[in-house]
Amino acid sequence: MSRKATVTAYEPVKQQVVIQIEDIPETKQEVKRPPAPKRPAVPIEVESEELPDDVTIETTELDVWEENIPAPPPPAAVEAPPPEENEIVPFWHVEKPPELVHAVPPKYPEIARKAQMEGKIFLHLLVGKNGEVEDVKFIKGPEIFKEAAIKAARQFRFSPALQNDKPVRVWMAVPIDFKLTGSAQ
């Protein structure tokens, strides 16, 4: 005995969407403006003997092509204003950027050594007028090397940056590599 099964395609019931249009009256926004200021009084020429002569304005003539007027001074040469005492000069603005004189190699984190991790850290250093690192900010790189790199960078020494032949404070970016095969730089 075999049974017959009839299969019909499923058709979802379509919901009818009703869109209703309403008439919305146009509105007009009223702008309240302050009253216009009073117009200044216009002087009118009066021929009266009651007014003294020194009250009236006499006609003046100005000769703009007069030859005894001195020429304006030539413009001064445009140069950067001298930096203030504690001002931090942008790196690209200095005449001589700071140069690394003494670098302390960072201590390789033991957990990174065991995990065979390598990486590169980028730091922002504020080099003072005396060449010492005044501040260190982390830019990017693996977090595991961050503290070791910052600790080492605080001990770096630079020749100071020069602007107008005077030492200035300047921010600069420094990369620090952590490699297992050699010493970290």
We report the CATH number of the domain holding residue 147 as 3.30.2420.10
| Residue that wins the pLDDT comparison between 96 and 62 | 96
Residue 74 within a domain: no
In 3-state terms, what secondary structure has residue 112? helix
Q: Would 115 be classed as within a structural domain?
A: yes
Quote the tokens at residue 59.
């006609």
Q: What's the rounded mean pLDDT across residues 99-107?
A: 91
Burial class (CB in 10 A: 0-12, 13-18, 19+), 117: middle
Q: Where are the alpha helices (DSSP H) in 83-130?
A: 110-114
Sign of CA dihedral 159, 162, 166, 172: negative
Q: 2-24 burial, b if ≥16 CB within 10 A, otherwise e?
A: eeeeeeeeeeeeeeeeeeeeeee
**How is residue 127 annotated by DSSP?**
E
In a domain, 157, yes or no: yes
pLDDT(18) > 50:
yes
**Structural domain containing residue 129:** 88-178
User: Where would I find the H helices in 18-123?
Assistant: 110-114
Least confident of 10-14, 111-115, 143-147: 10-14
Cβ–Cβ < 8 Å for 185, 113 = no
| 121 falls within a domain | yes
Mean pLDDT of the chain: 79
160, 130 in Cβ contact below 8 A?
yes
Note the pLDDT tens digit of each residue in 42-86.
666 666 666 665 565 666 666 666 666 666 666 665 555 555 566
Q: Which is nearest to 118 in space by CA: 137, 141, 150?
A: 141
116 lies in some domain: yes
How far is residue 70's CA from residue 68's CA, in Å, rounded to a whole number?
A: 6
pTM over 0.85: no
6 falls within a domain: no
- Cα dihedral angle (87, 89, 90, 92), rounded to 10 degrees? 170
Q: Is residue 137 part of a domain?
A: yes
- Would you say residue 167 lies in a domain? yes
Number of domains in the chain: 1
